[in-house]
A and B are shown apart, each in its own frame.
Chain A
Amino acid sequence: MEEIRKSLNVIVKSLISEKKVEYVLGFEEGTLPLKPVPLYIEKEEDIDRLIWNEYCNLNLVKFLLEEPHGKKIGIILKNCEIRSLIVLINEKQINREDIVIIGVPCSYGIIDINKVSKLLDGKEFTEFKKNGNDYTFKGVGFKKIIKLQDILSDSCAYCKDKNPVEYDYLVETPNEFKKIKDEDFDEYFDVIEFEKKTPKERWAYFKKELEKCTLCMACRNACPLCYCKLCFIDSNQPQWFDKTDDLSEKMLFHMTRAIHLAGRCTGCEACTRACPEGIDIHLLYKKLRKMTKDRWKVDKIELGEPSVLGSYKIDDPQEFMVKED
C-alpha cells in the first residue's frame, strides 16, 4: 500500500504543480478509524494527507457529478469505480476529457465497516491494527481479532475485475496485486448460492433486511449512478411512493432502484457500506448484474457501449415476449 501511495504522490504532484487539473480527488483519514473522507487536493501541501488503502470505502465518482462541465479534475479510482465513471460518460453526464483518471489496481478489495460493526456486536472500536490478514480491533473492555475475508465487501470477495480498464495514469503496483488469477470460483458465487434457496426463504431474507431500512437514502445518495434530478421516490406528481416507512414502500424503493441500476451497477458496493443500518442490499443489485450477464451476455460496462437496457439490438433476447396463438 505504501508503494502505491508513493506512486500516487508522484502523479498527483505533477498534475497539481503543472496545473493540469483544478484538483485531484482522493482520500484522507477521517476523524474515526476506518472512516476515511474525500480529500480535495488543490495545493501541493495537501498531498501529504493523501491515503490509499482497503478502507477507502466511498465511490468518489459521486462527487464529480456536482462539478460543472469543462472543469478539469483528477480522480484516483479502482476499477469498479472506473466502470461507474464509464457509465456516466456513456450517459453523457460527464465528459471523458474533463477527467484525469488515475487508475489503481485493486488488491484485496474494500472493508465493509458494517461487517466490522456486526462482528463487534455494535461496540465502539477506537483502535485497529493490521497484521497480514489479521485485523485487531480494540475498544472499552474488549480486543478482537478478525480476518480480512470476514469483513471484505461481498462483491470484493468474488471480484475478478481488478485492473483498471480506462485510465490516464496507471499506478504501478507490486506483482502480487497485478496477477489476478482466474481461480476456481464463480464471480456470482454468492448469488448462485442464494438462488438455491426457496422463494419463501429468499423473501424472508429480504424482508428481514429491508425491515431495518429507515429510508434515509444514504444508499441512493452514495451511488454515483443515482443522479436523477428528481428521484421517483421524491416525485409528488405523480406520487409513486407514499413516503411512509411501511415494508411495502421500502421494498418498492429498493426494487425500483435495483431495476434502474440493472445493466449499469458495477458492484462497487458503496451503497451497502453507506447504509447506517448495515442492510445487506448488495445481493439485489448483483442478481440483476447476473441477469444481464445471463440474458445479454454483457456484465462489464465498456466505454462507448450503450447500456443493455438503454439500447435495443435486433438480436436482443425476447423470451419474455408472449407469443400469440
Chain B
Amino acid sequence: MNHKHELDNPYIPSLVTIEEINPENEVNDLKTFKLIFNETVDKEKFFEKFKPGQFAEITEFGIGESPIGIASSPTEEDYLLFTIKKTGKVTNRLHDSKKGKMVGIRGPFGNGWPLKEAEGKNLVIIGGGFAFTTLRSLIVYLIHRNNREKFGDITIVYGCRNPGEFCYKKDLEEWGKRDDINLNLTIDREHPDWKKLVGFVPTITKEVAPSPKNAMAFVCGPPIMIKYTSPVLQELGFKDEQIFLSLEMRMKCGIGKCGRCNVGSKFVCIDGPVFSQAELKVLLRD
C-alpha cells in the first residue's frame, strides 16, 4: 500500500546542532538560531525540497515541538536560520539554550512562496514586526546572483512599532545599499533615532507599491496589518490572485494528519502556509 509516498517516517526528526544564537530585538524575546545538520545525508534531503516560505518543526527533546518559519534561504547552503519568539514552552526552552545543543528538526513543510509564478514579475514584499522571517528567506533567495535576473523590480515595505524591533539589521543595511531593491523601512510613530519613513505599513504601501500590472504582492505580518494592507493593495488595482499571504495556525504534526490547523477544507501545514487572497476568499474561515 502507498508506494507513492516518501519512505522515511515523517514523524522522526533529524538531529541538528545550534551553532549560533543572535538576539534580534531590544526586549530580547526574539532570537535567531543558526542550526547545522549533524548528518550530511539529512541536510541533503532537507535542501532537496526546501523553498522560501516553508516551515520546519523544531524539537526540544522531552519538551515538545514547535512549527517555525524558516528564515534562511536555500541559497544559504550550509545552515538553517530560525527567528524564534519566546512564547510557548518549546520556544522558552530554546531561548534558554546555549551554543552546541542538539535539537531535532522535521521538514521542510508547507508550500512556500509561489516562486515559479513570480518569475518575470515585479514584486512587492510587505512585512510587519517579527513576522518577517520567511520574507527574509524569500528576499535572500530572490537577490542571489543566480536568481536576481529572473525577477523584475523588487519593492520591500517593512514596518515595526519602533526602531528596536527590526530584525536582520545587517541584511537590511546591505539591501539598502543595493540599487536593485527599493527598500522602505517604516515605524509607526516618530522616534528621535529614526531617520527613515514614519507611518503604518498600509499607508507606506500605498505610496511605494509598483503598478499592479505584471506584479505580485507577498504579505506576512500580524493580523491587524494584513487586515488593513489587503484593501490598500486592492485599491491600487491588485487582484486577489496577485496577493499572497502566509498564515499561522496551531499545528502539531506538520503533515496534515493531526487535524487542528485547517482553514475550511485546507490544512495550513500542507496546503499552506501561503495562500492567495483568491483562495482564502472561498475557504470557510472560523
Interface residues of A (CB under 8 A from B): 236-237, 239
Chain A, residue nearest B90 (CB): A236
* Interface of chain B residues 32 through 88 with chain A (CB within 8 A): 88
Inside 8 A of B88's CB, which chain A residues have their CB? 236-237
CA distance A239 to B92 in the complex (A): 13
3 nearest CB pairs, A to B: A237-B89, A236-B89, A236-B88
A239 proximity list for chain B (CB < 8 A): 89
Identify the closest chain B residue to A239 (Cβ).
B89
Report B's interface with A, CB cutoff 8 A.
Answer: 88-89, 92
Q: List 6 A-B contacts (CB under 8 A).
A: A236-B88, A236-B89, A237-B88, A237-B89, A237-B92, A239-B89
A244, chain B: closest CB distance, angstroms: 13
Chain A nearest Cβ from B67, distance in angstroms: 15
Chain A positions within 8 Å of B89 at CB level: 236-237, 239
- For the complex, give the distance between the alpha carbons of A194 and B89 in Å: 41
Complex CA gap A239/B60 in Å reads 15
**How far is B88's CA from A236's CA once the two chains are assembled, in angstroms?**
8
Specify the chain B residue showing the minimal Cβ separation from A236.
B89
What is the minimal beta-carbon distance from A48 to any residue of chain B, in angstroms?
36
CB distance from B208 to the nearest CB of A (A): 40
Q: How far is the CA of A237 from the CA of B89 in the complex (A)?
A: 6
Chain B residues closer than 8 Å to A237, beta-carbon distance: 88-89, 92
Q: Which residue of B lies closest to A237 (CB)?
A: B89
Q: Which residues in B have their C-beta under 8 angstroms from that of A236?
A: 88-89
CA distance A70 to B89 in the complex (A): 38
With both beta carbons as reference points, the residue of chain A lying nearest to B63 in the complex is identified as A239
CA distance A237 to B63 in the complex (A): 11
Nearest CB of chain A from residue B88's CB, rounded to whole Å: 6
- In the docked arrangement, what's the CA distance between A236 and B64, Å? 11
Give CA–CA (A286, B88) in the complex, Å: 37
Q: How far is the CB of A168 from chain B (nearest CB, A)?
A: 39
Shortest distance between the CB of B29 and any CB in chain A (Å): 14
Q: In the assembly, what is the distance between CA of A249 and CA of B89, in Å?
A: 19
B91 nearest CB across to chain A (Å): 10
**Cα–Cα distance between A236 and B89 once the two chains are bound (Å):** 7
